[in-house]
Copies of this chain bind each other. A is one copy, B any other.
Amino acid sequence: MERPRHQGMAKNTYMRWRLPLVCLLWEVAMIVLFGVFVRFGAEADAHWEEEKREMNLTSDIENDFYFRYPSFQDVHVMIFVGFGFLMTFLKRYGFGAVGFNFLLAAFGIQWALLMQGWFHSFKDGKILIGVENLINADFCVGSVCIAFGAILGKTSPIQLLVMTLFQVTLFSVNEYILLNLLHVKDAGGSMTIHTFGAYFGLTVTRVLYRPNLEQSKDKQGSVYHSDLFAMIGTLYLWMYWPSFNSAISDHGDAQHRSAINTYCSLAACVLTTMAFSSMLQKKGKLDMVHIQNATLAGGVAVGTSAEMMLTPYGSLIVGSISGIVSTVGYVYFTPFLESRLHIQDTCGIHNLHAMPGLIGGIVGAITAAAATEDVYGREGFIKAFDFTGVYETRTPSIQGGFQAAGIVVSLLMAFAGGAIVGGILKLPIWGDAAAENCFEDDVYWEVPEDEESDAYHMHNPDKPASP
């Protein structure tokens, strides 16, 4: 039974040839490029026994797999379930949230393995991959998931794939500049993932500004159960964030410390979020939007510094502040950004990723600048900041300066990249929906005819309550 839903649909959202074409072409390209370039690294290759002898390792447990695989799986869950379900809060866009996130991330990790591989794991004409590459690919895609949050509900799957292609590329360039040229530390990605990803996404959504979006305003809210689905995403992001920030840190104390700092920061963040959520609402009630999002700001804000000697109380302070900033952002900044700057930010990534990401970059710069051999120990100091080779003479304060430079570079890359990619996405060939059909799964998905959709129509007086 067909309902006359999209009477006003002026735009062509027909995906039948365009989406398959893009998916298949790109997958073929991936296969060809992987065939030419990608091989197993020494720890995943069948020659491992020889490698072990050469490196004087006595046990298989020294394989990097055992140091990082549990964290990898946690990060993997964050990308696919965490981001995917976090965005299911919209009443009629759950399929798009979790399904398009799935699509773009699955494509993105392949392309990221290549892009990051060329920059970081390229040897004798081949990209040699291991578990750390998988984590980094997930990280890279994380920045795309963040940007997706800004344009959620307003773009076609093809636009998302196009954005992923470009954003992964730019991410990798930015990451290379920061990690290799500026020699910046950013294990949890406050700058490379959050600051870059969020400002990129905000720029894109600014370029794609839709003046008539209030036509789908009734669909921009949540329903009771969609808020619970979103809490699944929130909690998995929250619980596994210690793994996120420690996943690619140095073996031993650095991984251990990152996890502890992140755990502390996140715990503090929950309390200040709850406090401000209640305080900023006239009736003093808690708002699920804040609980779902601002509680996570504490993880973002220690992304750079978690592996440093931030200390547990330092983490509590950073987490507390970021929860406040993020909640205040949802209440005051998001409406302001939309009405004044024409930045329509569906998930409020400005509050969850952009501002906390900046905080994270700054805290990282300060923590690095404040590092002393006394606190770290001579060996620990050198190891923590990799002050070896050409960087042997770098001092903490210089490192702090470079860290700060990393923030600026990330911002510039985000603005410039977002503007260009936003322009590309504006071309009228990608099949995005008209304003009145935004935030509606029905445009791109076969949606079951169900009680809920009936009930939904009860709200629309001009549609019959029962089909």
Return chain B residues, CB-CB under 8 Å to A332: none
Interface presence of A106 (CB below 8 A): yes
The answer to whether A286 and B444 touch across the interface, beta carbons within 8 angstroms, is yes
Return chain B residues, CB-CB under 8 Å to A251: 60-61, 63
Interface presence of A259 (CB below 8 A): yes
The answer to whether B288 and A95 touch across the interface, beta carbons within 8 angstroms, is yes
Return chain B residues, CB-CB under 8 Å to A76: 239
The answer to whether A47 and B316 touch across the interface, beta carbons within 8 angstroms, is no
**Chain B, Cβ-Cβ closest to A109:** B267
Return chain B residues, CB-CB under 8 Å to A317: 31
**A 41-56 binary contact with B (CB < 8 Å = 1; else 0):** 0011111111010000
The answer to whether B316 and A110 touch across the interface, beta carbons within 8 angstroms, is yes
A94 vs B225: C-alpha distance when bound (angstroms):
9
The answer to whether B94 and A268 touch across the interface, beta carbons within 8 angstroms, is no
Which of B43, B113, B253 sits near A48, CB closer than 8 Å?
Answer: B253
A259-B69 contact in complex given A44-B253, A286-B446, C-beta closer than 8 Å: yes
Q: How far is the CB of A11 from chain B (nearest CB, A)?
A: 14
Q: How far is the CB of A32 from chain B (nearest CB, A)?
A: 8
Interface presence of A447 (CB below 8 A): yes
Question: Which stretch, A16-24, A403-411, A415-423, touches the partner chain B?
Answer: A16-24
A9 vs B417: C-alpha distance when bound (angstroms):
55
Interface presence of A73 (CB below 8 A): yes
Interface presence of A40 (CB below 8 A): yes
**Chain B, Cβ-Cβ closest to A79:** B239
The answer to whether A49 and B260 touch across the interface, beta carbons within 8 angstroms, is no
The answer to whether B458 and A63 touch across the interface, beta carbons within 8 angstroms, is no
Interface presence of A65 (CB below 8 A): yes
**A 63-77 binary contact with B (CB < 8 Å = 1; else 0):** 111110111011011
A239 vs B84: C-alpha distance when bound (angstroms):
12
Interface presence of A10 (CB below 8 A): no
6 closest A-B pairs (Cβ-Cβ)? Answer: A16-B284, A451-B455, A46-B380, A48-B253, A106-B270, A223-B450
Consensus secondary structure, chain A interface: helix
Return chain B residues, CB-CB under 8 Å to A275: 19-21, 23-24, 27
Chain A residues within 8 Å of chain B by Cβ, number: 147
Q: How far is the CB of A381 from chain B (nearest CB, A)?
A: 7
The answer to whether A383 and B259 touch across the interface, beta carbons within 8 angstroms, is no
Q: How far is the CB of A387 from chain B (nearest CB, A)?
A: 13
A376 vs B238: C-alpha distance when bound (angstroms):
41
Q: How far is the CB of A111 from chain B (nearest CB, A)?
A: 10
The answer to whether B451 and A380 touch across the interface, beta carbons within 8 angstroms, is no
A252-B106 contact in complex given A77-B239, A232-B232, A260-B134, C-beta closer than 8 Å: no
Which of B31, B94, B221, B266 sits near A228, CB closer than 8 Å?
Answer: B94
Interface presence of A281 (CB below 8 A): yes
Interface presence of A353 (CB below 8 A): no
Interface presence of A454 (CB below 8 A): yes
The answer to whether B223 and A281 touch across the interface, beta carbons within 8 angstroms, is no
**Chain B, Cβ-Cβ closest to A99:** B291
Which of B71, B281, B465 sits near A16, CB closer than 8 Å?
Answer: B281
Q: How far is the CB of A449 from chain B (nearest CB, A)?
A: 8
A459 vs B453: C-alpha distance when bound (angstroms):
12
Return chain B residues, CB-CB under 8 Å to A284: 14-17, 19
